Amino acid sequence: MENLLPQLALAPAEGRDPKDYFGRAMSDVWLEVGFGGGEHLVWQAEAHPDIGMIGAEPYVSGMAKLLSHIAEKDSANIRLYMEDATDIIDSLPPSSLGRVFILFPDPWPKTRHHKRRFIQTAMLDALARALKPGGELRFATDDAGYLVWALERLMAHRAFVWLAQCPGDWRVRPTDWPQTRYEAKALHGVPIFLRFQRVP
């Protein structure tokens, strides 16, 4: 961590184009909030070398695992932030992200803790501002209570439209959505995969 993290760490700057955080030209920038062990982030970065991947993860163990994954790889299209992802989202200019991933976030199951869940109406407002029209928000959970919570807020938000056409669209993980270690454990139940598009 001492050597690699300083090379990949970014400091959010108000209104800065996120493409500027990378050492070479990027066609788009995607953000993963709470990347856990980093398996998904690294897969996306390798599959899309022309897209800048920003990963936000406040936990040292998750950051260490990700850095071990990329220690011997070309990390030119990965940048990391070890604080609250809200800092990045709030600093971005409008319509600057092509995709946002929120995969298996902490469900905060106790009612008194629901205010800590990442999916809140105010956060969806912020993501709607940061996402490009046509951009995609991907959300996954294996917690039934959080699934209902997220769907209620996403379906009620005018800036997002659910891309599902049939049950398989949320029951089956898309081919360009690699499995994470957390998903493999399925601690709370059956994993569900949601794709929402930012409407104009």
| CB-CB neighbours of 11 under 10 Å | 11
Measure the CA–CA gap between 197 and 95, rounded to whole angstroms: 13
Which helix (DSSP H) or strand (DSSP E) does residue 12 occupy?
none
Is 106 among the residues known to form the active site? yes
Which two three-digit tokens encode residue 112? 């008194």
Going from the C-alpha of 181 to that of each of 36, 60, 103, 146, 186, the distances in angstroms are 8, 17, 11, 19, 9
Q: Are 104 and 165 in contact (CB under 8 A)?
A: no
Contact partners, residue 136, CB within 8 Å, separation at least 6: 98, 99, 100, 163, 195, 196, 197, 198
Measure the CA–CA gap between 80 and 54, rounded to whole angstroms: 6
Dihedrals phi, psi of 65, to nearest 5 degrees = -65, -45
Catalytic residue among 74, 84, 106, 125: 106
Measure the CA–CA gap between 103 and 89, rounded to whole angstroms: 16
Q: What positions carry a catalytic annotation?
A: 106
